[in-house]
A and B are shown apart, each in its own frame.
Chain A
Amino acid sequence: MTNDPNFSGPTTEQLVFDATESQRRRKRTRIQKVGDHLKREWQLYALLLPTIIWLMVFLYKPMYGLQIAFKDYSVFRGIAGSPWVGLEHFHTLFENDQFLRALRNTIIMSAYGLLFGFPVPILLALMFNEVLNQTFKKSAQTIVYLPHFISSVIIAGIVMTAFSPSAGIVNTIIGWFGIEPIYFLTKPEWFRPIFIGTGIWQEAGFQSIVYLAAIAGVSPTLYESAVVDGASRWQMMWKITVPSILPTIIIMLIIRIGNILEISFEMIILLYQPATYETADVVNTFIYRQGLQGGQYDFAAAAGLFNAVVAFILVMTANTISKRYSRTSLW
């Protein structure tokens, strides 16, 4: 330390005092700082507050209400007052054939939707990109984007009318080939093709926008040098455009897989009926029937919690993978 004999260092007490004092001072200045900050920027928090309160009241408070999945919920006792039953609802759930069927149907329908629906917007975008006549391109796009903006009630209404056994156009057309009318919407084997086909018809055009944006980002010099090399348009499409938008395709695929439990159940509620539950009933329609129509809130909330947790894990995994992928990929 020091060799000075006269040196008298601070006592331990002094040191402790200094330390706590400086801590206190630091704390005080921090509080002061926060105070100053709030005084200066309170308007910012005033602007943010309504949104935060709304989120708390309408989205976070129901998360607190999710505890009824572990309770014997009664309307009179309320959420907090109902007795706990542990995992009872989950045991019932996994012994419930209807729930297991709904879970299976959700995954099957999502998987088919992915298999048949995923390539269509990509092909559409590639095709739009090859159109030289801008007026033709614009008008075609205007048409194929339209169904995206039409409500599911209207779409379902059109489907029900078109597939009606007596008056529907589909039965009229198959009648030309001598086929007897089929009551499509009561046939379990027809539900999935109709549902998935409707989904593609409604959304494929609009989904192509993402890929068109990716194509717009491809450097024109690639095409120019390919033209010099005598490449045909077909070759350029497969050798330049497709590889260039591959990262977007892969990210969209990962996101779609992550959302496999998210199925547009509104459309299913509109189209299904007891005769087609076998193939049509999904987790959310099951929850709707058991909970909102049947009043078994706690049991249905357990099904919902299971669904939400699995969906959350899938989505977060997909996000992480796609982020990592997009960082290493070229764009």
Chain B
Amino acid sequence: MANMNLYSRGDKLFVIVNMVLITLFAISTLYPFIYITSLSLSSGFEARAGNIVLTPIDFTIEAYKRVLIEPQFWTSYKNTFIYTIGGTLMSLAFIIPGAYALSRPQLFGRRFWNLVVAFTMWFNAGLIPFFLNMRDLGLLDSYFGIIIGFAVNGFNIILLRNFFEGIPQSFEEAARMDGANEFQVLWKVYMPLSKPAIATVSLFCIVSRWNGFFWAMVLLQDEDKIPLQVYLRHVITELTDDESFGAELINAPYSVETVSAAIIVCSIIPILLIYPFLQKYFSKGILLGGVKE
């Protein structure tokens, strides 16, 4: 950018103040995570007394042990993996072919079909009709219902369509000469060229599946099928009022606070593991989707 040798004293001060402000913002972003982690590693007694500020006091991993012996924790963790992997694959199975077809100029009624997709981004029937529809389709309390019911999303289709449209026609000419049909052109030419865009869409799906809470809460009653987020909510809101857990706590080295904190940490870890990819592809993705509708 600007020439670095010409800084005045005012500029130096400006740069320093700026860095201090950014550091403060970053610390305030990070602090709640540090606090929760420290809380999860402290003894129940210190946590209940509100003594944890920055670092763990009376370091212990009892809260984690308590979380990990709970069968429901593992059931819901497994379910979250099923919904995330199944849901993402299902989404790609719909979105990639759909976006490809919409990107082809020879598609008859292309503008109309694009409008059919885009309209769902501006107007949706709302919670009640969606719920009644899922019920009428017999998709309540079902793995398949969660996986199929949220497979397609207008924004992801349009994002991928924009990317496909940006690929020059010349890339497919050789394949066409060899007599490749549409399926082969998509599979052998477009998909390899679109790896970054497909990665972006996959990550959008993975994050929204992993974090998905509201519809899982509404559509799933069976405890064997609930994902981690719904279980987490049960633990955080209901543990305080749970009498058997209250009795258990009397002599326990953990407390409601440390157990909640431990389970929060356990469910953040997978997101942290894929975070380098998320950061790389997400910013590109939101800008790509915004180019045109």
Spell out A's residues near B (CB within 8 Å).
34, 37, 41, 43-45, 47-48, 50-52, 54-55, 57-63, 65-66, 68, 79, 124, 127-128, 130-133, 136, 139-147, 149-154, 156-158, 160-162, 164, 166-169, 171-173, 175, 201, 205-206, 209-210, 213, 220, 223-224, 226-227, 232-234, 236, 266, 269-270, 284, 287-288, 291-292, 297, 300-301, 304-305, 307-308, 311-312, 315-316, 319
Contact = CB atoms under 8 A, between A and B. Distances in A.
8 contacts: A51-B95, A52-B116, A127-B21, A160-B236, A162-B35, A266-B214, A304-B125, A308-B123
B50 A169 contact: yes
Given A62-B126, A65-B133, A160-B236, 9 more contacts: A48-B98, A51-B98, A55-B120, A58-B149, A79-B136, A153-B236, A158-B32, A167-B257, A300-B128
B19 A68 contact: no
Interface in B97-142: 97-98, 100-102, 104, 106-108, 113, 116-117, 120, 122-133, 136-137
Interface stretch (B65-73, B169-177, B194-202, B205-213): B205-213
Interface in B210-268: 210-214, 218, 229-230, 232-233, 236-237, 255, 257, 260-261, 264, 267-268
B26 A140 contact: yes
B41 interface: no
B191 to A, nearest CB: 12
Nearest to A207: B286
B50 A166 contact: yes
Contact of A167 (B18, B50, B152, B213): B50
Contact of A127 (B18, B28, B214, B282): B18
Between B129, B136, B264, the greatest number of chain A beta carbons within 10 A of the residue's beta carbon is seen for B129
Interface of B: 1-4, 6-8, 10-11, 14-15, 18-19, 21-23, 25-26, 28-30, 32-33, 35-36, 39, 47-53, 93-95, 97-98, 100-102, 104, 106-108, 113, 116-117, 120, 122-133, 136-137, 148-149, 151-152, 157, 181-183, 186, 207, 210-214, 218, 229-230, 232-233, 236-237, 255, 257, 260-261, 264, 267-268, 271, 275, 278-279, 282-283, 286-287, 290
A154 B260 CA distance: 10
B271 A150 contact: yes
Contact of A44 (B49, B107, B120): B107
A312 B120 contact: no
Contact of A292 (B7, B28, B213, B218): B218
A305 B126 contact: yes
A230 to B, nearest CB: 8
Contacts of B108: 34, 37, 41
A15 B237 CA distance: 83
A201 B264 contact: no
Contacts of A224: 2-3
A161 B106 CA distance: 57
Given A37-B108, A164-B257, A233-B14, A169 B26 contact: no
Between B120, B126, B132, the greatest number of chain A beta carbons within 10 A of the residue's beta carbon is seen for B126
Nearest to B231: A153
Nearest to B54: A169
Contacts of A133: 19
B22 A158 contact: no
Contacts of B123: 63, 308, 311-312
Contact of B3 (A68, A127, A128, A227): A227
Contacts of B14: 130, 232-234
A326 to B, nearest CB: 11
B34 to A, nearest CB: 11
B261 A161 contact: yes
A144 B26 contact: yes
B129 to A, nearest CB: 4
A236 B32 CA distance: 35
Top 3 A-B pairs ranked by shortest CB distance? A51-B98, A304-B126, A151-B211
Contacts of A44: 101, 104, 106-107, 182
